[in-house]
């Protein structure tokens, strides 16, 4: 049985689908959001919620910075349970070689209007006294923040609903093509536009998308108010995020409003099961203790895993799918989907409505991957 047509059907109520729903509804389009589970129950529930500007490439910088500015503008409207804190990131330099990278990053950000402060070791220690002695210094990026992703997704969906969007949870989508969404129960939803925002499951609905699952582990401690003030990330994190094959861990810790400390992070390809991998978890925690030895005796209250949706060039897929002019992609955000969700929604809806996007969209277009996508 076919239901009444919508302008847009969004598959996935993670942070990306939620942002898209909010943006389409804001522009006056009729929206239905379909998720086989709950709001923010996929990678969004597993993510760290670090709203961070990154500079692996100009395209990554443009998307992360644009989106961070959108989050900052939204801040007064975010409810308390989103726990948005502009705590800043400190990129930790272990030695003088990494201080060279600190200065490079500082210059890069300065040229693009992002405030930063280079910290010598004395200043660093004043800011974060629990980091072990003997580091070289770091780079403070004060406009970076943190939030609690599932509540952010819920806020965006509810805002879309207030503008008329329809939400259907427990709705498993089996197939999408030519303006028809076929659900596993055999029913159909007719729509002009379909947005595949199914995260790392996007290839199940759009064959030919190159997305691989990249598993990550996180641990959250009991409450230790005041122990940590900034998100601390080792500069070696960049090597870990760049690795395309091997398993890797990096020191990445986050202060939560509750006083808890969220400890990450790991990256693994080829690990499809959700279970905690104790070897990599041990490596991750030992790495964290190399930077903050007093983390060792703290009690952890929960450990979990999640899957990032990784594309070969580490940039998300945002835009029309060449094989079907009703299908648009908003997926493949790897470890930055919380940060980049709002900008993803803006540039996707700009493309569809013919508005001029704030940043160049070409680096994110699904057609960039060439003929194999187009022929899929």
Cα separation, 89 vs 191, in Å, equals 42
Q: Closest separation between CB of residue 158 and ligand FAD, Å?
A: 16
Residue 99 or residue 181: which is nearer to ligand FAD going by CB?
181
Q: Closest separation between CB of residue 60 and ligand FAD, Å?
A: 12
Q: Closest separation between CB of residue 371 and ligand FAD, Å?
A: 26
Residue 106 or residue 214: which is nearer to ligand FAD going by CB?
214
Residue 118 or residue 208: which is nearer to ligand FAD going by CB?
208
Q: Closest separation between CB of residue 303 and ligand FAD, Å?
A: 11
Q: Which residues bind ligand FAD (CB under 6 A)?
A: 11-17, 34-37, 41-44, 46-50, 172-173, 197-199, 201, 205, 216, 218, 265, 306-308, 331, 333, 335-339
Residue 136 or residue 364: which is nearer to ligand FAD going by CB?
364
Closest CA to 237 of 225, 248, 226, 246: 248
How many angstroms separate the Cα of 151 from the Cα of each of 32, 148, 316? 20, 6, 23
Contact 35, 171 (CB under 8 A): yes
Residue 25 or residue 34: which is nearer to ligand FAD going by CB?
34
Cα separation, 136 vs 119, in Å, equals 9
Q: Closest separation between CB of residue 97 and ligand FAD, Å?
A: 26
Q: Closest separation between CB of residue 122 and ligand FAD, Å?
A: 29
Using DSSP's 3-state secondary structure scheme, residue 94 falls into coil
Structure tokens at 12: 């996935």
Per-residue three-class SS string for 321-374: CCCCCCEEEEECCHHHHHHHHHHHHHHHHHHHHCCCCCCCCHHHCHHHHCHHHH
Q: Closest separation between CB of residue 156 and ligand FAD, Å?
A: 10
Residue 136 or residue 336: which is nearer to ligand FAD going by CB?
336
Contact 255, 279 (CB under 8 A): no
Using DSSP's 3-state secondary structure scheme, residue 201 falls into helix
Residue 136 or residue 173: which is nearer to ligand FAD going by CB?
173
Residue 137 or residue 339: which is nearer to ligand FAD going by CB?
339
Q: Closest separation between CB of residue 296 and ligand FAD, Å?
A: 22
Q: Is the peptide bond before 309 cis (omega within 30 degrees of 0)?
A: no
Q: Closest separation between CB of residue 206 and ligand FAD, Å?
A: 11
- If you ran DSSP here, which 8-state letter would residue 36 be given? S
**For the chain, percent helix, then strand, then coil, each to nearest 5?**
35, 30, 35
Rg (CA), the chain: 21
Length of the chain as a residue count: 376
Residue 102 or residue 156: which is nearer to ligand FAD going by CB?
156
Cβ neighbour number for residue 341 with a 10 Å cutoff = 32
Closest CA to 123 of 109, 133, 137, 113: 137
Contact 137, 91 (CB under 8 A): no
């Amino acid at each position: 049985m076919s239901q009444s047509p919508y302008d847009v059907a969004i598959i996935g109520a993670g942070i990306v689908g939620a942002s898209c729903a909010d943006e389409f509804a804001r522009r006056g389009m009729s929206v239905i959001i379909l998720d086989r589970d709950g709001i923010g129950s996929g990678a969004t529930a597993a993510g760290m919620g670090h709203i961070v500007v990154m500079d692996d490439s100009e395209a990554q910088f443009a998307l992360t910075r644009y989106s961070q500015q959108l989050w900052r503008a939204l801040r007064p409207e975010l409810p308390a349970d989103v726990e948005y804190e502009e705590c800043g990131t400190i990129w930790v330099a272990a030695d003088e070689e990494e201080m060279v990278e600190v200065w490079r990053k500082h210059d890069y950000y300065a040229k693009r209007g992002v405030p930063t402060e280079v910290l010598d070791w004395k200043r660093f220690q004043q800011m974060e006294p629990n980091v072990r002695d003997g580091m070289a210094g770091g780079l403070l990026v004060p406009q970076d923040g943190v939030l609690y992703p599932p509540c952010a997704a819920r806020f965006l969906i509810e805002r879309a609903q207030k503008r008329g969007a329809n939400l259907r949870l427990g709705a498993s989508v089996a197939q999408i093509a030519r303006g028809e969404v076929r659900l596993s129960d055999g029913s159909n939803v007719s729509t002009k536009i379909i947005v595949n925002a199914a995260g790392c499951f996007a290839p199940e609905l759009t064959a030919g998308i190159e997305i691989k699952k990249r598993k990550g582990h996180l641990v959250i401690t009991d409450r230790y108010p005041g122990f940590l003030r900034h998100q601390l990330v080792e500069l070696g994190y960049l090597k870990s995020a760049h690795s395309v094959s091997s398993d890797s861990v990096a020191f990445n810790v986050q202060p939560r409003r509750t006083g808890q400390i969220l400890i990450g992070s790991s990256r693994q390809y080829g690990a499809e099961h959700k279970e905690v991998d104790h070897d990599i978890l041990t490596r991750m925690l030992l790495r964290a203790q190399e930077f903050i030895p007093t983390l060792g005796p703290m009690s952890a209250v929960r450990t979990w895993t999640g899957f990032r949706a990784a594309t070969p060039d580490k940039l998300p897929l945002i835009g029309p799918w060449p094989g079907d002019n009703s299908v648009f992609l908003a997926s493949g955000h790897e470890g930055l989907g919380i940060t980049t969700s709002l900008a993803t929604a803006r540039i996707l809806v700009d493309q569809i409505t013919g508005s001029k996007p704030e940043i160049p969209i070409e680096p994110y277009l699904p057609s960039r991957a060439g003929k194999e996508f187009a022929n899929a």
